[in-house]
Chain A
Amino acid sequence: MKPFPQDFTFKRFISVYIGSGVFFLLMHTFVLTTFGLTLVQSLFDALLTIGLILLAGTSTYNILRYYKPARENILYPRIWAMLLTILVTMVFTATMKQIYEGQKDYLDFLSASIPVRGVYHLLIISLLTVFVFMWFLFQEEHERQKNLADIEKLTRDAELVSLRQQLQPHFLFNSLNSISALVGNRPEEARKMIYQLSEFLRGTLRKDEYETYEMSGELHHLQLYLDIEKVRFGHRLTTTILADDLVRSCKIPPLILQPLVENAIKFGLYDIAGEVNISIVCSCNSEYLTITITNPFDPQTATPKKGAGFGISSVQRRLYLLYARNDLLQTGYENNLFTTIVKIPQKI
């Protein structure tokens, strides 16, 4: 639904609002003069009526700024418009009675015109309410579109960063160097590593950012990555992945785990001189899929960087955009272990 053109700004909203006010003011004055009222009387009548109606419209605007009824509650704006009409008509009549006290001619005209005025008020106030409602719906839609674009951009960024970090410089060249070393004495293993590397790279390129994927596939992708790293680092790197069948059927957005595990590997392997174990433990219940990634680090030298790099902060941001929550990713450390916990809601 597009009630307004895309470039409909707040400024234009206000000018339409005021513009129609002036239009009704002139109309109102003109019509009253045809009933034999003087110009001053007509103008004053019009000013008060339109003034009260615009005031009602402004109050609708202010309320909607803080409270927006759900789209289904189409009755609310109607009831609201009726209430406003009654209020405006009452205030108008009372004020006029005060001002024109004793002028029987005018007061007779006033009481005779009340039903017509009521209908007239209801008509304009309804139009106004609809207009203001539409404005907010338009704003909401606009916001939603923007969020959607943000999600898209961030996923692309994550993909880019992940491409840069895996298939590019360090990882790729070192993996190729390992293959080059294997070709001489262990050609079978070299060939196997070429397949692993290719499958891994293809997996990174394939993902659709709007989809969620089964954990089984994501775990397979991680396993490929870890296997390649194991060929490179030999006995220094060991990994533990714990995931049961239930976990494997859970859903997860793509490229959430990859940056986190990469981070753990980098953190672990370049901060510890000895053997490094990376563990990935998954569990799930009806609400959440929970993944806990643990890597060793050296508290003496590692001053665990808060958030630790683009990897973690981009995952945090993506989770926020996807689920509107900031508490799904947590990091912490104790003794010599750095832990990253990510929770993926399963009911959406």
Chain B
Amino acid sequence: MIKVIIIDDEPLARGIVKEYLSAFNEVEVVLECNDGFEGVKAIQQHNPDIIFLDVQMPKINGFEMLELIDKPPAVIFTTAFDEYAMKAFDNNAVDYLLKPFSKERFDKAFEKWMNARLTLKDENQTEDFIQNRTRNQDENSRIVVKTHHAIRIIPVHDIIYLEAYDDYVKIHTNDGMFLKKRTMASFEQGLNQDEFIRVHRSYMIKIDQLTRIEHPDKDSHVALLKTGAKIPLSKTGYQKLKTVLGM
């Protein structure tokens, strides 16, 4: 049996996917979800083979939802019209359906996946796509993280500083520290350069959090933040900070 989960905030849109799927007899739709929050829970619980995922949904979009899942399942995206999403799909291995889509188009996408499933067992195309995509304005204004109990949306202006931590980045805020699986480089690209500055290979600070720069010994500089945190500055980081502050 192929386990399927459908995630879309419009009931009728889920209905048509379900209807088209009913033509395949080895398929079981285990759950339908209204938004990304339900989606994360359902995927963890049921471990589906494939999901049909709407891009634009309340609170967090389909891409952000997938970021929260450790080993995301195969996915076929569904979207009505989203220039940004369509650009993201271009030249990419993930498949997508533009609403409204015909039965033929749907079957083609689903059959393509069923055939590929047998040959590409371990490649996780979904994860590659999600990690490497460029983010749109909304996504750059917030960071969606998963804690033990819940999903949290952190507005970027709540960030104090970022710290690299293996494959993750530690996001330090007044509410505590959160882990996000994402590269420092992608944060550097996405965050507003007037607000955040990469001061070290492993650190990025919010500029208005800085209180002063200390000079503990001949070759090193340290940024002291309002919270009392001390952030090491690399040589280029120190230079960049000096330029930004007009020193």
Question: Residues of A at under 8 Å CB distance from B?
Answer: 168-170, 172-174, 176-182, 184-185, 231-234, 236, 269-273, 298, 300-301, 303
Contacts and interface: CB of A to CB of B under 8 A. Distances in A.
Nearest to A173: B80
Nearest to B80: A173
A173 B155 CA distance: 30
Which 3 A-B pairs rank lowest in CB-CB distance, beginning with the nearest? A169-B81, A173-B80, A177-B99
B155 A174 contact: no
A228 B100 CA distance: 16
A234 B13 CA distance: 11
Interface string B56-93: 11110000000000000000000011110000000000
A179 B100 CA distance: 9
A273 B12 contact: no
A236 B80 contact: no
A173 B99 contact: yes
A234 B157 CA distance: 35
A273 B38 CA distance: 10
Contact of A270 (B13, B37, B58, B83): B58
Nearest to B102: A180
Nearest to B17: A181
B100 A180 contact: yes
B28 interface: no
B234 to A, nearest CB: 32
19 contacts: A173-B80, A176-B99, A176-B100, A177-B13, A177-B100, A179-B100, A181-B12, A181-B13, A182-B12, A184-B16, A233-B9, A234-B10, A234-B11, A236-B9, A269-B9, A270-B57, A273-B58, A298-B59, A301-B155
B19 A181 contact: yes
B15 A181 contact: yes
Given A273-B35, A273-B59, A303 B155 contact: yes
A71 B60 CA distance: 60
A177 B155 CA distance: 33
A269 B59 CA distance: 9
Contacts of A179: 100
A301 B9 CA distance: 19
A174 B58 contact: no
Contacts of A301: 59, 142, 153, 155
Contacts of B13: 174, 177-178, 181
Interface residues of B, number: 26
B34 A173 contact: no
A269 B13 CA distance: 16
B81 A178 contact: no
Interface in B103-130: none
Contacts of B157: 303
Contacts of B11: 233-234
Contacts of B12: 177-178, 181-182, 231-232, 234
Given A174-B13, A234-B10, 17 more contacts: A173-B81, A174-B80, A177-B80, A177-B99, A178-B10, A179-B100, A180-B100, A182-B12, A232-B10, A233-B11, A236-B9, A270-B56, A270-B57, A270-B59, A271-B59, A273-B58, A273-B59
A185 B15 CA distance: 10
Contacts of A170: 56, 80-82
B106 to A, nearest CB: 11
A226 to B, nearest CB: 15
Contacts of A180: 16, 100
Given A176-B100, A177-B16, A269 B58 contact: yes
A172 B98 CA distance: 12
Nearest to A193: B12
A236 B59 CA distance: 14
Contacts of A271: 58-59
A169 B86 CA distance: 12
A300 B81 CA distance: 28
A88 to B, nearest CB: 60
- Of the listed residues B56, B80, B98, the one surrounded by the most CB atoms of chain A closer than 10 A to its CB is B80
Contact of B37 (A173, A176, A233, A273): A273
- Of the listed residues A168, A177, A185, A232, the one surrounded by the most CB atoms of chain B closer than 10 A to its CB is A177
B2 to A, nearest CB: 22
Contacts of B58: 269-273
B10 A174 contact: yes
A185 B35 CA distance: 24
A296 to B, nearest CB: 11
B141 to A, nearest CB: 8
Interface string B1-34: 0000000011111011001000000000000001
Given A174-B99, A176-B100, A233 B10 contact: yes
A241 B115 CA distance: 52
Contacts of A232: 10, 12
A184 B12 CA distance: 11
A113 B138 CA distance: 83
A144 to B, nearest CB: 40
Nearest to A233: B10
A300 B155 CA distance: 8
